[in-house]
Structure 1
Amino acid sequence: MISAWRRIRRDGRRAGKKELLDGNLEMEFTIPTHFRCPISLDLMKDPVTLSTGITYDRESIERWIEAGNQTCPVTNQVLRSFEQIPNHAIRKMIQDWCVQNRSYGIERIPTPRIPVTPYEVSEICTRLLAAAQRGDQRRCVELVGKIKVWGKESERNKRCIVDNGTGCVLSALFESFATVSIEKYAGLLEDILSTLTWMFPLGEEGQSKLGSATSLHCLVWFLKSGDLSARQSAVLVLKELLSLDQRHVDALAEIEGVADALFKIIKEPICPTATKASLMAVFYMISPSSISEKISERFVEMGLVSLMLEILVDSDRSICEKALGVLDGVCNYDEAREKAYDHSLTMPLLVKKILRVSDLATEISISLLWKLCKNEQREEGGVLVEALQVGAFQKLLVLLQVGCGERTKERVTELLKLLNLYRDRVDCVDSSMDFKYLKRPF
């Protein structure tokens, strides 16, 4: 008993020493008040001073101003100017303090790069246009490269570059050099494309330049002939462009080889980002329009239905949703539905995706089932029987219990009526069964 008591007292003294040590560490580790941003109360990484003389961390004060505030958060004075002057003295003191306390795990904050200003962006755009007029390819490459470097430095730089019309200038340059010779200026055009991927929205003038016949032909050229990086940039730009105006979709569909190029990017993936962009581009092109039927027929001939079903077997949520969307769009046409009827994976996959991926995937799967079952012209309800065999009736009942949108609910109800006509041909599981085996999004 005595030895046990001594052990407890000894452990208690050690714990006390540890608490005192931890307390000392906490005291030494305390960040000086003047090193903290008055807004976030965190250690400032890029201290800047406003016209009121108060210093803030650049990121915090920029968010404050972008939210529409026009006063100094500390003094509440109206800001005469929104200019943010780097406080090099405070920044140097913070860096020295970090070095002195590195034994406590404090890392020295790097010297921040001065963000690009609207004036600098306007200046480089002016020089770009002047170099383009002279046909100075080398100078244009240098200036576009500088814009890319600025964009990589920070999201703030990207916003500044986009907000000051750089996308419009680059779109004009792209059209101008593509008009002269795509092969001759391929390197410059590829640099412009890779920069344009994060320049949207472009504004009406920029959209007009990039959506011109010359620019679209150049984009398709890169889709077919460029290296992997160029093809990825081209499809990302196309996806953004097609989402803006149906006229661009119609103009692109008229260009020979565009369907083959997009199909190849999906079939032989470059990266998930390019695959998603290609799926969206195909989706826009097969959406109902004056020429969508023609381009849809071409996609079906190449095997789009089979390819989408193969993607659905094993893909992440985002790609699955887009593949279902493409399949739903192309199945508005008889040829595509015939391909879907003939494929052994169609019904099992569509039924499987209900309540397993996302609400959007469920809605699209129901839309597809409805189109295929409603438009079937075969005898003895082949598709309906197959749907029953893979458990569609039970899944649809569960979906009604879980809840769904009004339009989807109407289609589910109609599907249940159609399926019910053929239930006596299949050994269906009783609808009151336990559905715990289903993976539900709730």
Structure 2
Amino acid sequence: MLLFWRRRRANRRATKTNNYSSKTGNMELAIPNHFRCPISLDLMRDPVTLSSGITYDRESIETWIEAGNRTCPITNQVLRSLDPIPNHTIRRMIQDWCVDNQSYGVERIPTPRVPVSSIEVTEMLEKISAARRREDLEGCQELVRKVKELSKESERNRLCFIANGAASALSATFQAFAEHSPPSPSSSTKNVVVLEELLWCLPSFMPFDEETKSYWGSSSSLRCMVWFLKHGTLSARRNAVFVLKGLVSSDQLSLTKSLEIEGIIEALVKLIKEPICPATTKASLVVIFNMISTTPSKETLISSFGEMGLLSLLLEMLVDSERSACEKALGVLDGMCDCSAGREKAYAHALAVPVVVKKLLRVSDLATEMSVSILWKLCKNEKEEDGNALVEALQGGAFQKLLLLLQVGSSERTKEKATELLKMLNLKRDNLECIESIDFKNLKRSF
């Protein structure tokens, strides 16, 4: 098994050269064997030694250990300790060798940073908790900034913080400072900076456990996040919506409480109207989707979003947006069409039906299903004397697209809606409409 694993690793790296060619000739420089990792056979960048006495590159041996192995790959001895020890002597020898052979194109390997340990993380979190109890803003800010820097250094550090409960400790600290002195236009700069630093760290430690959710779901924490959504810096608004997304997507109680916070609807719509980055826009759409999908007072909420121009913003996004954003925008639009207030906004917008028809069979299977659902809700609930939605759908080529959808396959629920839509459209259809063949050029049949 060991031999097979090593051969497979060696084969994956077969295209990489293990020697260095001189810049001025055809001579090649061989890497000394004791500088190579026994697993990857490459030059070690961060040599570490196991309890068996064998030295490996840290990335390779950690991959071996994380796969569930508890023995040394070379000696097959059971490891007394799974913590690799940095081999500074070999590292300095490798660095000196790189410097001596710069003419062969060898670059000096920088001194690696030692990953943070569980003991260090625990001590750091205890100090943050102590600073919170003392209400020491400056001390807490310095410690949280250190957590942020260490978690950014490597994925291993980030996972170590998660495993030792960093999310819960930082969330408790955020709640405490938000409760004692919630931010406002007159808040002290120190208080806002500490809360912003805490807010920056939390998205890296998602998904949250139940204890962390309880801290974020408190009224003080939610009010503080909404304040940052409205008045914070660009990075603070970005991190706040990420945390809010992770919270409301998995905790119904927090979602209900967040709707009670004044100004949250305006803040979310503003993030779509004045986008910070694509990820922020999509996070805002996810939060809105969860809100309008689960709240009991759906009609009132959708009416509020409609009055703020959300439907127009969604249609603008759909005209030219990538797949993920398009799917999320269609999901929100589908939710808005559940209520009469949302449908009235769609009926009044000249682009609503044409844009939705355009997305049929062009983005993804999920986008097609949501587009069918939107059209079905608009056409079914339209007053018979109006019929504008049906006419606009026919003019956009919906009849032919729906026929093709039934042939290429979809979910049973979507087929039912498509069939019902075809019956409604057929009543308004006098003759076949022409459609753009480009809509179907990449379409593949399911059989």
TM-score in terms of structure 2 length: 0.88
Other-structure match for 2:322: 316
Equivalents in 1 of 2:387, 2:419: separation in Å?
18
Q: 1:251 to 1:441 in 2, by over 3 A?
A: farther
Other-structure match for 1:440: 442
- Superposed CA deviations along residues 208-239 of structure 1, whole A, max 9, x for unmatched, are 01111111111111112212222112111111
Equivalents in 2 of 1:439, 1:79: separation in Å?
59
Q: 1:174 to 1:56 in 2, by over 3 A?
A: same
Point out the more displaced range, 80-89 or 140-149: 80-89
Shift of 1:63: 1.9
Matched, 1:52 2:52: yes
Q: 1:236 to 1:437 in 2, by over 3 A?
A: closer
Name segments (4+ residues, structure 1) moved above 6 Å: 24-27
Q: Contact between 1:353 and 1:365, CA under 8 Å: does it hold in 2?
A: yes
Equivalents in 2 of 1:163, 1:26: separation in Å?
51
Equivalents in 2 of 1:55, 1:407: separation in Å?
59
- Superposed CA deviations along residues 97-120 of structure 1, whole A, max 9, x for unmatched, are 322333333322211000000100
Other-structure match for 2:151: 151
Structure 2 stretches lacking a partner, 5+ long: 1-20
Q: 1:261 to 1:81 in 2, by over 3 A?
A: same
Q: Contact between 2:302 and 2:341, CA under 8 Å: does it hold in 1?
A: no
Shift of 1:271: 1.7
- Superposed CA deviations along residues 319-339 of structure 1, whole A, max 9, x for unmatched, are 111111111111111111111
Asked which structure has the greater CA Rg, the reply is 1
Equivalents in 1 of 2:441, 2:260: separation in Å?
43
Equivalents in 2 of 1:53, 1:27: separation in Å?
34
Q: Contact between 2:95 and 2:108, CA under 8 Å: does it hold in 1?
A: yes
Q: Contact between 1:356 and 1:439, CA under 8 Å: does it hold in 2?
A: no
Equivalents in 1 of 2:26, 2:51: separation in Å?
35
Equivalents in 2 of 1:434, 1:144: separation in Å?
56
TM-score in terms of structure 1 length: 0.89
Other-structure match for 1:350: 356
- Amino acid in structure 1 at the alignment position of 2:316: E
Q: In structure 1, the residue corresponding to 2:302 is in which secondary structure?
A: helix
- Superposed CA deviations along residues 119-144 of structure 1, whole A, max 9, x for unmatched, are 00000011111111111111001100
- Amino acid in structure 2 at the alignment position of 1:318: S
Structure 2 counterparts to residues 78-97 of structure 1, below 5 A: 78-97=78-97
Q: Contact between 1:355 and 1:439, CA under 8 Å: does it hold in 2?
A: no
Q: Contact between 2:299 and 2:340, CA under 8 Å: does it hold in 1?
A: no
- Superposed CA deviations along residues 185-216 of structure 1, whole A, max 9, x for unmatched, are 11111110011121212322111011111111
- Superposed CA deviations along residues 379-433 of structure 1, whole A, max 9, x for unmatched, are 2632112111111112222323332233222322222222222221x5424xxx9
- Amino acid in structure 2 at the alignment position of 1:438: F
Q: Contact between 1:197 and 1:237, CA under 8 Å: does it hold in 2?
A: yes
- Amino acid in structure 1 at the alignment position of 2:170: L
Q: In structure 2, the residue corresponding to 1:270 is in which secondary structure?
A: coil
Other-structure match for 1:76: 76
Q: 1:41 to 1:375 in 2, by over 3 A?
A: farther
Q: Contact between 1:224 and 1:231, CA under 8 Å: does it hold in 2?
A: yes
Q: 1:418 to 1:59 in 2, by over 3 A?
A: same
Q: In structure 2, the residue corresponding to 1:336 is in which secondary structure?
A: helix
Equivalents in 2 of 1:393, 1:198: separation in Å?
46
Q: Contact between 1:331 and 1:371, CA under 8 Å: does it hold in 2?
A: yes
Shift of 1:441: 6.1
- Amino acid in structure 1 at the alignment position of 2:174: F
Q: Contact between 1:253 and 1:291, CA under 8 Å: does it hold in 2?
A: no
Equivalents in 2 of 1:231, 1:124: separation in Å?
26
Shift of 1:255: 1.1
Structure 1 stretches lacking a partner, 5+ long: 1-20
Equivalents in 1 of 2:238, 2:268: separation in Å?
11
For the aligned residue pairs, the C-alpha RMSD in angstroms reads 2.1
Other-structure match for 2:178: 178
Q: In structure 2, the residue corresponding to 1:287 is in which secondary structure?
A: helix
